[in-house]
Amino acid sequence: MKDASFLGKLFSSPFIRGFYNDEKPVVDIKLEGNKFEQRRMTSLINTIARNSPTGRAILEDAAKAGYTFSFERQRGSYGFCDPSEKRICLNPMHNDAKLTGTLAHEARHAQQHTKDVPTKFCTLNVATELKLRRATESDAQAVAAQTALEIRAATRNEKIWNAFEETDRHIALSVGKPSVFKSLDSVVADRDKNMQNAFKGWFNDWRTIDAYEQGYLYHHLRAVARCEPEEKAAYFAQKPFEGHKTSADILKMVCTTEKGKCYFANDLDIMDRETAMCGICQDTREAADMFFSERKKVTGKAPDTSYQNLPDRGDLFKALKMMMMPIGEIKVTKAPLDKKALPPSLIAGLNKIRQGR
């Protein structure tokens, strides 16, 4: 659904954003929107393409795959990638520094879908879905981080990296910030290390992991309980949970550079070692037990057992419960829970999940 609202256009207009140069995108990408929106999108594209080899390669792949870039006003989201319609949309209400990283993130999702990452949730077995969906998000943020670092090195301007750091503190801390005088060539040479650290940093925020487990898996498993009896067979057909990929398969499919090299080539079993990467919460495990028990009754199909021996990650809703508790009653075990609201990047991610994007 294309956004035609007055506010959507206003936030890309000269009244809010100032004037953008009337130039063509360095990467030949299809654009939609009025002239101000197209000039703004061109500015974002060219900032990446002129200053980040990593970002440029990803934009080129999205262009080759036929994606159209546009702005669309969204509630609580920075942007989304819709592989079914081949659209990447950014929220015009956010500033250009934040949207530069978002564009790299969403273009990476477009690239992932050209590499056989299933576009529909619950396609593969539960163990694979858990790791695959986490990997696609953490990898997209690793690309956003590396793109921001490369732009910083090329321009000596901190603005885009600072915008990334503000909303993704755990990842930024994991990557570390090199000297502003470090050359672009050196930052590119460190890409595998930077992206490994960014990928791993995504898993340092358990609230993010929980939120995605809820959106990508738990709610789909629980939804069958709300189906009418005559609807259940069709629902099970839409959520087959069939097929398996190893952790190494997932990393080699998702975590690649523009030359096709996996940046985790020296550590392909990491997702089997880290509970944050391969573990499942008890609530999700119970929802899966219920789902497959009901599926067997309705269809006679054998249950998926892939998740049964995965490490336990505890309570899926602990973040929500802690937020509802008085501050004095919160008992901290590892890292303190921020008293402020959930991070903007997490809120944006949750909205993407709810929209099925």
Asked if pLDDT for residue 355 goes beyond 70, the answer is no
Residues 303 and 344 in one domain: yes
Better-scored residue on pLDDT, 328 or 63 = 63
Better-scored residue on pLDDT, 221 or 258 = 221
Helices 206-213 and 344-354 cross at an angle (nearest 10°) of 10
Q: What is the pLDDT of residue 353?
A: 54
Asked if pLDDT for residue 76 goes beyond 90, the answer is no
**Is position 102 within any domain?**
yes
Which band of pLDDT confidence, cut at 50, 70 and 90, is reported for residue 7?
A: low
Angle CA(351)–CA(7)–CA(98) in degrees, nearest 5?
Answer: 50
With CA atoms as reference, report the closest residue to 258 among 106, 58, 116, 64.
Answer: 58
Residues 109 and 30 in one domain: yes
Query: What pTM does this model have?
Result: 0.87
Residues 182 and 317 in one domain: yes
Better-scored residue on pLDDT, 336 or 3 = 3
- CATH assignment of the domain containing 57: 3.30.2010
User: What is the mean predicted confidence (pLDDT) over 227-234?
Assistant: 95
Q: What is the pLDDT of residues 135-190, one digit of tens each?
A: 999 999 999 999 999 999 999 999 999 999 999 999 999 999 999 899 999 999 99
Q: What is the pLDDT of residue 339?
A: 32
With CA atoms as reference, report the closest residue to 59 among 22, 97, 114.
Answer: 114
**Is position 164 within any domain?**
yes
- Give percent above pLDDT 70 in the chain: 84
Asked if pLDDT for residue 337 goes beyond 90, the answer is no
Residues 191 and 275 in one domain: yes
User: What is the mean predicted confidence (pLDDT) over 99-125?
Assistant: 95
Tell me the CA end-to-end span of the chain in Å, nearest whole number: 13
Domain-terminating residue out of 92, 113, 134? 113
Indicate the number of domains in the chain: 2
Residues 239 and 163 in one domain: yes
User: What is the mean predicted confidence (pLDDT) over 117-121?
Assistant: 92
Q: What is the pLDDT of residue 6?
A: 62
Asked if pLDDT for residue 14 goes beyond 90, the answer is no
Instruction: Name the residue range of residue 193's domain.
Output: 121-357
Residues 179 and 291 in one domain: yes
Out of 12-26, 49-63, 75-89, the most confident range is: 49-63
Residues 101 and 164 in one domain: no
Q: What is the pLDDT of residue 205?
A: 94
**Is position 66 within any domain?**
yes
**Is position 335 within any domain?**
yes
Domain-terminating residue out of 113, 132, 154? 113
User: What is the mean predicted confidence (pLDDT) over 212-231?
Assistant: 95
Residues 348 and 320 in one domain: yes
Residues 215 and 139 in one domain: yes
Which band of pLDDT confidence, cut at 50, 70 and 90, is reported for residue 333?
A: very low
Q: What is the mean pLDDT of the chain?
A: 88
Q: What is the pLDDT of residues 248-295, one digit of tens each?
A: 999 999 999 877 899 999 999 999 999 999 999 999 999 999 999 999
With CA atoms as reference, report the closest residue to 314 among 344, 287, 340, 279.
Answer: 279
Q: What is the pLDDT of residues 42-60, one digit of tens each?
A: 999 999 999 999 999 999 9
Q: What is the pLDDT of residue 327?
A: 43
Which band of pLDDT confidence, cut at 50, 70 and 90, is reported for residue 352?
A: low
Q: Tokens 């956004």 identify what position? A: 3
Domain-terminating residue out of 95, 113, 131? 113
Residues 280 and 301 in one domain: yes
Residues 170/201, Cβ–Cβ less than 8 Å = yes
Residues 156 and 83 in one domain: no
**Is position 282 within any domain?**
yes
**Is position 144 within any domain?**
yes
Residues 238 and 311 in one domain: yes
**Is position 13 within any domain?**
yes
**Is position 1 within any domain?**
no
Asked if pLDDT for residue 334 goes beyond 50, the answer is no
Instruction: Tokens for 213, please give them.
Output: 């487990």
Asked if pLDDT for residue 15 goes beyond 80, the answer is no
Give strand pairing partners of 88: 69, 81
User: What is the mean predicted confidence (pLDDT) over 215-241?
Assistant: 96
